[in-house]
Amino acid sequence: MKFDALTEWRKFKGALIQELKVTPSDDFEAIWGKGKVPDRTRFYKNKLLPKVATELGYVFQPEFLLVDYSILNADRVPVVFIESEHSAESAVRETDKLCAVSSPVKAIFLCCPWADGSREQFLPRWKERIATHHKYLDQNAVYMIVVGEWGRGKPSDEILRYYVESFDVFGNEIEPKEELELSRPL
């Protein structure tokens, strides 16, 4: 089921207006005036918007879309958004973030033992998150996972490799995984 923008807008607007109407005047007085910008920001973040999200049956997530890198065209429109994550365990949050931004290419860079089990452990979850987001969003994109791995096996072969994998919005592989060997053992 895709989101309908007008339906979501009407629901959000209604919940927001209702919450503004029931907020005590003292709350507004405490956040308005010179030097009160941080207080007003905290009010939106900690009180108003969480209540609106709850009223809608959604979950409030502050500061969700701080993306590590972007590549822009001449008109400063994002063509590629890139997240660099140091922990494969927490990369699902970065995957969710990439799903939420608009660009034709979205990439996550990782460093982990890809060939020694991390691929099988984490890739299905990331692909599932991509497909889940696109059940609701009508946005075409290509997702790339770029993984650096220094050394494979035990003992390590001490070769630096990068793996590049690409998926569509349903989590389907677009082309076979590429493996680049960038160094040789000493």
Residue 155 confidence (pLDDT) = 81
Residue 126 confidence (pLDDT) = 93
Say if strands 78-84 and 69-72 run parallel, antiparallel, or are unpaired: antiparallel
| CA-angle at 72, arms to 70 and 74, nearest 5° | 165
Chunked into runs of 10 residues, the chain (186 residues) has average pLDDT values of 81 93 90 84 93 93 85 90 87 91 93 89 94 91 91 84 93 92 72
CATH of 69-181, one of 3.60.110.10, 3.30.565.10, 3.30.70.980, 3.20.20.150: 3.60.110.10
Distance in angstroms (rounded) separating the CA atoms of residues 85 and 93? 10
Dihedral (CA of 67, 40, 47, 9) sign: negative
pTM above 0.75, yes or no: yes
Which tokens in the block code for residue 38? 């941080």
Listed in order, the ranges of the chain carrying CATH 3.60.110.10 are: 69-181
Q: Label residues 159-181 b or e (16+ Cβ within 10 Å = b).
A: eebbbebbbbbebeeeeeeeeee
